[in-house]
Every structure is written in C-alpha cells, then in structure tokens.
Structure 1
Amino acid sequence: MSTIQADIEARLSEVEPEVEVLLAEVVGGDLVRLFIDHPQGVTLALCERVTHHLPELRERYALEVSSPGTERPLSKPEHFSRYVGRRARVRTRGDHDGRRSFTGELLNATDREVTVAAETGVVSIAYADIHRSNLVGD
C-alpha cells in the first residue's frame, strides 16, 4: 500500500469511519485518483464530503474521488479474500513465470499471496509483487 493511501485512510478513519479506501494512486505527478466504497454505496455527496476532508492533499494535488465501478481495484489481502471465486486481472511489478499480467478466477487469498487460475495455469503471486489488480467482468 502506498504512503499516500495510508495517510488518506488514517484521515478518513477519523471523520468517515465507514468509508473504505480501495485504492489511492498518484497519476502523472499532479493527480491523486481515489477509489472509495461504503456499505450504503458511493454517492456524489459522499465523494464531495471525502474531498472536503482532505484539504492538505488538495493543496498538493488535483483530487479525483469515485466509486470502484465494475472493475473494482483490489489492493489489500482482504479485498482479494472477499472476491475469491470472481475473475480478476493481476499485474506484477516484474516478470512472474515469464509474464506480467494474469487474468482468471481468484482461487485463494492468504495473508501473503493470491492464487489465480489464469489462462496459462494456476499461479500464486505474493502481494509484494503485485503492481496493480482489479476485478474484471465475466
């Protein structure tokens, strides 16, 4: 998890404890893209509240806050665990079995790694090796 994501999670846990930060990423050096979720869903009003709760961040970056959509980002072990049985795309930081991208059913998620039934076979990938991951439509 990125430092910026940890900072955003810490801030929001105080003021919006039911908001789950799915992914926070810096794009192009001047934009922070923030994907959030909430048990009652993500509304425009919630996105606006979250934006207003992060004034320090808005001083340094443009901020884009949105719901996860159908291609929900997976950035923590509990995200992978929650969606075992669903299809996902997992992209690695470096070559893993000669490839960097694996798409298939999530078979298992432990505290250390995720196992994917990819088109080339079953592969286990340590979370530390994952660059980016998201659910994909069936």
Structure 2
Amino acid sequence: MSTTQSERLRALLEPLVVKAGLELEEVKVSAAGSRRQLLVVVDSDEGVDLDAMAEVSRELSQALDASDVMGEAQYQLEVSSPGTDRPLTEPRHFRRNTGRLVKFRLKERGELIARIIAVDDTGLDLEVPGVKGRRPKPDRAQFEAIERARVEIEFSRKQGEPETGGGAVDESTEEA
C-alpha cells in the first residue's frame, strides 16, 4: 500500500509535536525556487510561544535529517503557528477564538459577523454587535451550518475585550 509524502511526513512529525504538548495543524510541501519548503503549522489551546516553537523546530529538524521522507533534494523547514487569517474549521479552532469577532458564511443565512461567546459539542453561542447604538443580540450557529469562518481583526476594541493576535513564526528556519 502506497502512502503519500504528506502522510509519511505527518506520521513522522505528529508524535514529536504531540510530545511537545502541541497539535499538528498542517504539513505542506511547496516549491521555493530550486528547493522545496516544508511548512509545519502547530498550535495549542494556550497558543504557542517562541521558545516552544524553537524547541519543536529543532526536534522536527533532527527527525527529518534522520529519515528519508524528504528525499535527497534540499528543503527549507519553516515551523509556525496559525495566523488570524487561517480558516476556522474544527471545533477546537472556535474554542481557541472564544471572545473574538468572527466573520461567518452560513449555509442558509448568508454572511454574519459576530463574537464567539461559548462553544459546545454542536455549535457556537454568538453575540451579534449592535448597529447605530443598539444593544448586541445573542445568536446561535450550529457547526454543520458553517460554510466558512475567519477571525476579524479588530483595530479598536472596547476596554476589557480580549485581544486578537496573530500566529507566531519561528524565524530561525533550518536547511537540510
């Protein structure tokens, strides 16, 4: 039975990422000139600090060097956490963004911008901001009704509202 390079990479890297207390979100190989770039995206419920990013980057680099999963051609390893522009697709993504403003595309209702208040097994409790001085309104979205969702960047929040933050990127890339 043949497996793809992506599956082999995930099988090699995921146990190391989990051991570091993180989750493997994405593994992507792309062409970067005459070399290839291996992008590994990791995350956790608490976010990923730069020290954890550097440590997991070293672990992954050593494992890749000891295996033949990338073949003989040179590649550049980039380990990062997801940015705010990544699509929210899993319940854990929504949980991690509780308190943030999100733009949704809902199957039967169309577009909606709302703040995530709570997440449970079936969907989200939302707060739709009031317009022109009106009070915010509660709403609910079931996971199966969500076609797309992304965090909306807020440049001016009211005091006490949670910050929206981007993903950290480990700038120390390694070459094999």
TM-score (norm 2): 0.46
Task: Say if 2:16 and 2:59, in contact at 8 Å, map to a contact too.
Answer: no
Aligned to 1:35: 41
Unaligned runs of 5+ in 1: none
**1:14 aligned partner, one-letter code:** P
Q: 2:99 aligns with which of 85, 89, 93?
A: 85
1:24-72 deviation digits (Å, cap 9, x = unpaired):
265989976432136662334533433554667645x976421235x27
Out of 14, 20, 23, which is 2:22 matched to?
A: 20
CA contact (8 A) 1:90 1:133 kept: yes
Query: Are 1:98 and 2:106 matched, yes or no?
Result: no
Aligned-pair identity (%): 20
Distance 1:124 1:108 in 2: 11
Partner of 1:110: 120
| Structure 1 residue 111 displacement after superposition | 1.4
Higher strand share: 1
The one-letter amino acid paired with 2:102 is A
Name the larger-Rg structure: 2
Higher relative contact order at CA 8 Å, sep ≥6: structure 1 or structure 2? 2
Does 103-112 or 46-55 show the bigger shift? 46-55
CA-based RMSD of the aligned residues comes to 4.4
- Counterparts of 1:123 and 1:50, CA distance in 2: 40
Q: For structure 2, list consecutive stretches of 5 or more residues without a partner in the other structure.
A: 1-5, 131-136, 158-176
Cα distance, 1:113 vs structure 2: 1.9
Separation (CA, whole Å) in 2 of partners of 1:46 and 1:104: 34
TM-score by length of 1: 0.54
